[in-house]
Structure 1
Amino acid sequence: MISYLKELISKKLSRKRARRYTQEYGHTIDTFQLEKEGEIQFANWQNPLIRPKAITQQEVNFFKKFIPEGSLCIDIGTNIGDTTVPMALAAGKKGTTLGFDPNPLVYKILEANVKLNPEKTNIIPYPFAITKEAGEFSYASSEASFGNGGISNEVVSNQGSFQLPQKVQGIVLEDFLLREYAELLPRLSFIKVDVEGADREVIESVGGLLKKYKPVLVAECFKRSTPAERAELYETVAGLGYSLYYFADFDEQAETTPIKSAKDMNRWKTFNFYAIFETA
C-alpha cells in the first residue's frame, strides 16, 4: 500500500512538472502481436502527460477500409506517430506514408517510430507545418511539455502560454508534393488532419489535391471551436463534394453517424469525422 501511494504521488508530481517546465523525454519500445501484421513495435513517449499508445488490429483494419495497399497516404499532425504507424501498416511496405509535424519534441519520437517495422511500413517524416503560405511561424502549447500544440494563424491565434524558442517552418503541401512526389500523387488515397483547431485552414490549403484526387479525408472538430467555426468546417468539406461521417474511434467496429448538415457538427464536443467524395 505504501509503495502504491509513493508511486501515485510520484506520478502526480511528474505530471505537474510536465505542465510547468519544458524538458525532453525519452521513449520506450513496446511490442504488440497483431493477428494479421504479426509483431509490431512502437516507440511510446515517456512524457507523463501522454498515455501510452497500443497498436491494435482493429485500428489497422479501420485504415485498411480506406487505404489500399501500395497507395499514398498523408498524416498532417502526426504527433509521435500514433495514427501514422497504423496508416502505414495499411498502406504496406510498397505504399508510401508521409508524416508532417513541426513540433521538434514529438518529432524525435516520430523519427524513432519511422525506424521500426521497416519490413512492413514505408514512412517518410517531415518537420513542417502545413500552411496556406510558406514561412516561419510561432509554435505554442497550453502545457510546457508540448505534448500538443500548434502554430498561430488566422483560425487559432492562441495555442497556449508556452512557446517554443525557435520558429517552425510552414509549407504549402500541394507545391511540395508536386515538386517531390508528383509520380505518386495518382495513388493518393487518404489524408488525415489533426492540427489543434486549424483543420479548416489546412483543408482549404489542400483543396486542389482533394478536388483532383478525391482521397478519403479524416479530420478533427476541435473542442473549443464555436458553432460558427464548426459550420465553416462543414461547409468547407461538403463544398468540395464530400459527405461527412462521425466515427467514435479509430476502430473497424466503431459507431458511425452521417453528418447531414452544419448543425450536426454541434452534436459532439470533440470528435473525428471521415469524409468520402460522393460521385453523382
Structure 2
Amino acid sequence: MFNYLKKKYTKFVAKRKFSDYGDATSVISIQGIGNINFTCWLNPLEQEKTISLSQVNFYRKFLKTGDFVIDIGAHIGDTTLPMALAVGAQGTVLAFDPNPHVFKILQKNADQNRHISNIIPLPYAIAVEEGEYSYASSEASFNNGGISGKNGKFGLGEKVKGVNLQNFIHTQYPEVSKISLIKVDAEGYDIQILKSISKLLDQYKPTLIFECFKDLSEQDRHDLFNYISQKGYKINKMDDFEEDAAITPIPQKQNMLDWKHFDIIAFAE
C-alpha cells in the first residue's frame, strides 16, 4: 500500500511541477538482430517501454530492408527503433519530435544503435506552415504535448521550430524515390499534418499510421475518414504495435465513432 501511495503522489507532483528527469539505458537482445541499447525516460508519468522482436516483426509486414520511413512525434524512439531495425542500417528513419525533454533521449537511442540502424533525429514539429510555434502540455513534466493550441496549460519557455514536411523532403531529401511509411502521433493535430502532405501521399502512397484522437468531434472523425479514403487508402483500426496485433477494417465514416481513442493503419489500394 505504501509503494502504491508513493507512486500515486509522485505522479501527482509530476503533473503539476516541472522536474528535469534523468534516463536509464538497458541492453536488450533481439533474436536475429543482436544487442540493442534502449534508453528510457525516468519521468514517473512515462509508461513502461521496451523493444521486442514482436514490434520489429510488426513493421516487417509492410517494410523491407533499405526502406525510407518517417516517424512524426517519435517521443523517445520507442516506435522509431523497431521501424529502424525493420529497415536495417541500409534504410533511413527520419524521427521528428520538438519536445526537448524527450528529444535528448531520442538522440541517444539513435546514436547508440548506429551499427544496426539509421535514425536521423530532428527537433522539429511538423506544421502546415514553416515558423516558430508555442509548445504546450497538460503535464508540467511535458510527457505529452504539441503545437495545436489544445494541449494544455503548461508551455515550454521557448518556441519550437515547425517545418512543412513536403518542403523539407523536397529540399533536404530530393533523391528519395519512395517513402514506405509515415507514422503520425501529434496529439490531435494528425489531420492537419496529413492534409499538409497531400502531395507526398499522392506521389509515394506510403503506408500510414496515425491516431483518431479522443477529443475529435464527430465531424472531425468523418473528415479524417473521408480525406484518407479519397486519397485511395483502406482504413483499419489497429490494436497495438505487436506482430499479432488485431487489424480491423473501418468500412464507413460512421465506424470512426465506434471507439473513443484508437490507432489507425491505412494501406494504399
Give me the TM-score of the superposition, normalised by structure 1.
Answer: 0.93
Matched, 1:275 2:260: no
Which residue number corresponds to residue 158 of structure 2? 166
- The question of 1:100 aligning with 2:96 is answered yes
1:129 and 2:133 correspond:
no
- 1:100 and 1:109 map into 2 onto residues whose CA distance is 13
Does residue 46 (structure 1) correspond to residue 38 (structure 2)? The answer is: no
Alignment gaps of 5+ in structure 2: none
| Gaps in structure 1 of 5+ consecutive residues | none
- Paired with 2:155 and 2:127, the residues of 1 have a C-alpha distance of 19
Give 4+ residue runs of structure 1 displaced > 6 Å after superposition.
none
Q: Find the counterpart in structure 1 of residue 217 from structure 2.
A: 226
1:117: which partner in 2?
A: 113
Give 1:6 shift. Answer: 4.3
Q: AA paired with 1:25? A: Y
Paired residue total: 269
Q: Within 5 A, what are the aligned runs for 1:137-148?
A: 137-148=133-144
Counterpart in the other structure of 1:60 = 56
Identity score, percent: 45
- Supply the distance in 1 between the matched residues of 2:191 and 2:150 (Cα, whole angstroms): 16
Tell me which amino acid in the other structure corresponds to 2:107.
Answer: E
**Segment of structure 1 superposing worse, 196-205 or 13-22:** 13-22
Separation of aligned partners in 2, 1:223 and 1:204 = 19
In 2, the alpha carbon distance for the partners of 1:215 and 1:108 equals: 28
Separation in 1 of the partners of 2:108 and 2:62?
A: 26
Partner of 1:206: 197
In structure 2, give the amino acid aligned to 1:159.
N
TM-score (norm 2): 0.97
- Paired letter, 1:167: K
Secondary structure at 2:219's aligned position in 1? helix
State the match for 1:257 in structure 2.
248
SS at match of 1:186: coil
CA contact (8 A) 1:45 1:52 kept: no
* 1:105-132 superposed Cα distances (whole Å, 9 cap, x missing partner): 1111111111122211100011111111
Tell me which amino acid in the other structure corresponds to 1:68.
K
Distance 1:265 1:7 in 2: 40
